[in-house]
Structure formats: structure tokens, C-alpha cells
Copies of this chain bind each other. A is one copy, B any other.
Amino acid sequence: MKSANGTAANAAEQLATIARGASEILVEQDLLERLASGRSLRVKAGFDPTAPDLHLGHTVLLNKMRQFQDLGHQVIFLIGDFTGMIGDPTGKNATRPPLTAEEVKANATTYQAQVFKILDPERTEIRFNSEWMSRMDAVGMIKLAAQHTVARMLERDDFRKRYDEERPIAIHEFLYPLVQGYDSVALEADVELGGTDQKFNLLVGRQLQGAAGLPPQIVLTMPLLEGLDGVQKMSKSLNNYVGIEEAPHDMFGKLMRISDELMWRYFELLSFRSIADIDGLRRSVDEGRNPRDVKLELAAEIVARFHSDAAAQQAQRGFIEQFSHGALPSNIPEFDVHTGEVGMALVNVLKVCGLTSSTSEARRMITQGAVKLDRQRVDDLECTLAAGAEYLVQVGKRRYGRIRLSGKS
């Protein structure tokens, strides 16, 4: 691991690494100066305290944090437990019960197990904002609220939209960005990282630090990673994600199904390979190399990160065997199924494509172990196929189909 040192040349090099894949850096000149100071910078990123189950979309930010660590900086993994423990203060949202301190702690433990697959524990400070927020009284909250105006808060896209559409905004929602901003004051962050959708809140932190007489933090936003469909952002509810705790085989298979275009995006935001390396791969494809082979490298790198090199090699072998060998009929029929964004249950897909006569038959066949998806037996009656993906389906001995699910209805 390199240590941060303060020569200007080194600062420029660091900046190139930091800027990779970033949407925006505010203000780049400030960042360059702090890098040149040779100090180990305090780099903050905030995370939700609800039960974590991270997918590759979340790791875009974690990767950037890791890059800062590799450059010798200190990362602060901030868990926003203060508001999580309040729950929904309007009482209207029963699906957002307040978290207990025990739940927060348990979730933090799960977080650590997951994020330390990417982050360096030695340069990671895990903090909870309840540490300072639970000591704040109503007067402190009022003074914090006085630091921002209603008009500026209504400039935030989502607030503006809801206000214009006459959908209610409860006043406490104006306080939450201020709490997040105050966290930067309490932590004396040099840099705060977040998704592009967080830019407004990150700038509030910058402003509050300035008002508190601290040097305002640099704001660095990362793009939101597209899901497997290449269109929508990766999310569980859209079922277009790769969870970082998924089995090697599943993870590998999902990554091999992305489009070639999306592959380059994933290289930029998910691979740890250097920009020069990736440019080399791109040239090789331009010169005729099969993109599938490059995709194998990406899939293997990512599976290795969250499992092991051995697991990655095994998943790769399995994948190649499935698709390259095996006695498949020569003329497998192809189906395009139009589904909603969340994909479609396998039993419905089988019926729609005529691979079974009904969903009951589909269920029976699955129960009998007679249905295979990408050559793997399906055990789960609730199995859902993702929108935007392509599958090889086998029912019994003779019925085959190549099924493409389109997320646009």
C-alpha cells in the first residue's frame, strides 16, 4: 500500500485514480490542494442502517473508498443510525418501524462482513451518527435548521417535484439533509462520497462545514450502476442485480448475460484493473477478439473478489462446459417474453412459451426435478427470471427453449 505523500506530481496522479468513473468532483482544485498537503484525508460515505444485503451497485462507492485507502487515506464508513432509530415519525409508514439499538448493531456487523471484502479494515473507521445526534437537544436542532432556507431546500429535485405535484413533504424531511450535513461537521470530513442522487445532501455538508468555520468538504459523486438490463439502475426491487453474497455459479452466470456495451461500463466501475489494462482489452475486441472471452475475465475478477480465485475458476469452468459442450439439440426454439420490470415467475414463463401446458404442470415438473435453467436443476417453485436477461430452459428430456425476457411491456 502506498502512503500519501505531498508532492504535486503525486497529487495529480492520485487525482487521476480518484476521478476514474466519478460523475463530478466539487471542487477539484480544492481536492488537488488537499492531496498535495500530504495529509491522510478523512473520506466519508454514509450508509443506511437497515438490514444490509449489498449488490454490485453498492460496491461502486465501496470501490472508490478502497481506492482512497490504497492512496493512503482514511475512510469513514458512517452508519446513519440516528434517523433509522426514529423510524417514520409521521407514523404513516408501517413498513418503516424504528430500529432498536440492537438491530443497528447487528446490521453493522453484517455490513462489516460484507464491506471488508472490498475495504481495508486498517484504514476504515466505522462510525454511527447517533454518537453526536443523540446528544443534540431541540435547541441544537433549531440552530441547525437556521443554517438553511426553505427555498434552497425546495431546489432539491425530489422535493421540488413533490411540491409542484402537491404531494406532501413533512417538515422533518427538511431536517434530514441537515443532519447528514452536520455529520460532516462532527467528523471533520475532507471528502464526502455518494451517488449522483446524493449530490444535494453532500453540498449541504459542505455548506454547514463552512458555516462552522471548517474547510468545506470536497464532494465526489459516483454514477448509479445500471442493472443487468443495462437500462434501469441496479436494484433488488427491479430484480436486475447481482448480490455480493450470491453463489459463485449464479454470480458468474448473471455477469455473462450482460450486453457487451454494459460490460465496458462494469469494467470502469467494478473492475480493479487499471485504465490502461481496460483500454488494452477494448483494443483487442476492436481487433477481433470475442467479447465473450473478455466478459469471462470480468466475471472471474468479480467472483474472485467476493469468494476466492478457486471459486471463480470453478464457476468459469462450469459456465464454459454448460454453454460450449453438452448435447443440446441443434434447433432450440427462441422466445421473446415481454415482462414488467421485475421479470416473471418461471412457472408463468414455462406456460407462456408452451414448454408446459399450464402453470400447474410447470409446478409439477419443477417439483419432480425435471426443469433446468442454464443447465442447473431448479428447486425453487418461486424462481423468477430477470427482465433483460436470456436463459436456456429445459423441461423434461425433450423440451428446450432460449428465452429472452424484455423488461419493456
Q: Is the C-beta of A61 less than 8 angstroms from some C-beta in chain B? A: no
Q: Are A141 and B143 interface neighbours, CB within 8 A?
A: no
Q: Is the C-beta of A166 less than 8 angstroms from some C-beta in chain B? A: yes
List, in ascending order, chain B residues with CB within 8 A of A172's CB. Answer: 142-143, 145-146
- In the bound assembly, the distance between CA atoms of A159 and B136 in angstroms comes to 27
Interface of A is mostly: helix
Q: Is the C-beta of A338 less than 8 angstroms from some C-beta in chain B? A: no
Q: Are A150 and B171 interface neighbours, CB within 8 A?
A: yes
Q: Which of A166-205 contact B (CB under 8 A)?
A: 166, 168-175, 178
Q: Which of A65-104 contact B (CB under 8 A)?
A: 83, 86, 88-90
Q: Are A146 and B89 interface neighbours, CB within 8 A?
A: yes
Q: Map CB proximity to B onto A266-277 as digits: 1 under 8 Å, 0 otherwise.
A: 000000000000
List, in ascending order, chain B residues with CB within 8 A of A89's CB. Answer: 142-143, 145-146
Q: Is the C-beta of A113 less than 8 angstroms from some C-beta in chain B? A: no
List, in ascending order, chain B residues with CB within 8 A of A340's CB. Answer: none
A96 CB, nearest partner CB in chain B, Å = 12
List, in ascending order, chain B residues with CB within 8 A of A143's CB. Answer: 86, 89, 172
- In the bound assembly, the distance between CA atoms of A61 and B173 in angstroms comes to 36
Q: Is the C-beta of A151 less than 8 angstroms from some C-beta in chain B? A: yes
- In the bound assembly, the distance between CA atoms of A32 and B170 in angstroms comes to 34
Q: Is the C-beta of A140 less than 8 angstroms from some C-beta in chain B? A: yes
Q: Is the C-beta of A258 less than 8 angstroms from some C-beta in chain B? A: no
Q: Map CB proximity to B onto A128-158 as digits: 1 under 8 Å, 0 otherwise.
A: 0000011011111111011111110110000
Q: Which of B137, B149, B173 contacts A138 (CB 8 A)?
A: B137
Question: Can you give 9 contacting A-B residue pairs, CB < 8 Å?
Answer: A86-B139, A141-B175, A148-B170, A149-B169, A150-B154, A150-B163, A150-B168, A150-B171, A150-B174
- Other A-B pairs beyond A133-B138, A134-B137, A149-B169, 9, CB < 8 Å: A83-B142, A89-B142, A134-B139, A136-B137, A138-B138, A145-B170, A146-B170, A147-B171, A149-B170
